[in-house]
């Protein structure tokens, strides 16, 4: 069964450092997403990406965040200067046309 894969599973970084979270969506999917879940809180939408550009972004997705699809397979989320409050589980998801979202297992980001 096709799946979305995320690496690393856990990332620890110092405050102020840049981090890149990586995702490999399902190969024939067209829409790509990042969500995050702060411990004990809801899963929140960050950004959607289609046709090599951001389709929509939430208020959380400020100038510190960026996404990229550098090649035909990877989809990355970069946080330029991490803050303590960026600590969360980050989920990547992808969909095709008229299909539900398939999620990766998540990357747990811990900012210290």
Partner 1 sequence: AQSVTQLDSHVSVSEGTPVLLRCNYSSSYSPSLFWYVQHPNKGLQLLLKYTSAATLVKGINGFEAEFKKSETSFHLTKPSAHMSDAAEYFCVVSDGKYGGSQGNLIFGKGTKLSVKP
Is residue 28 close enough to count as binding partner 1 by CB under 8 A? no
Is the separation of the CB atoms in 74 and 80 below 8 Å? Answer: no
d(CA 24, CA 93) in angstroms, rounded, equals 9
Among 14, 27, 41, 52, indicate the residue that binds partner 1 (CB under 8 A).
41
Strands 31-37 and 107-111, bridge-based pairing = unpaired
Helical (H) or strand (E) element with 112: none
Per CB under 8 A, 4 contacts partner 1: yes
Task: List binders of partner 1 among 70-99 (CB under 8 A).
Answer: 91, 93-99
Alpha-carbon distances, residue 10 vs 7, 13, 36, 98, 111 (angstroms): 8, 10, 14, 31, 11
Nearer to partner 1, 15 or 43 (CB): 43
If binding is defined by CB under 8 A, does position 48 make contact with partner 1? yes
Q: Which of 7, 22, 31, 74 binds partner 1 (CB under 8 A)?
A: 31
Nearer to partner 1, 14 or 94 (CB): 94
Between CA 3 and CA 79 the distance in angstroms is: 24
Give the residues lining the site for partner 1 (CB under 8 A): 4, 30-31, 33, 35, 41-45, 48, 50, 55-56, 91, 93-106
């Amino acid at each position: 069964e096709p799946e979305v894969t995320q690496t690393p599973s856990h990332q620890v970084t110092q405050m102020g450092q840049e981090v890149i979270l990586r995702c490999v969506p399902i190969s024939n999917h067209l829409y790509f997403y990042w969500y995050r879940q702060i411990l004990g809180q809801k899963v929140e939408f960050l950004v959607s990406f289609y046709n090599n550009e951001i389709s929509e972004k939430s208020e959380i997705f400020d100038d510190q965040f960026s996404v990229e699809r550098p090649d035909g397979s990877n989809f990355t989320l970069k946080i330029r200067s991490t803050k303590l409050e960026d600590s969360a589980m980050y989920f990547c998801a992808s969909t095709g046309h008229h299909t539900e979202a398939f999620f990766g297992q998540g990357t747990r980001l811990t900012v210290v």
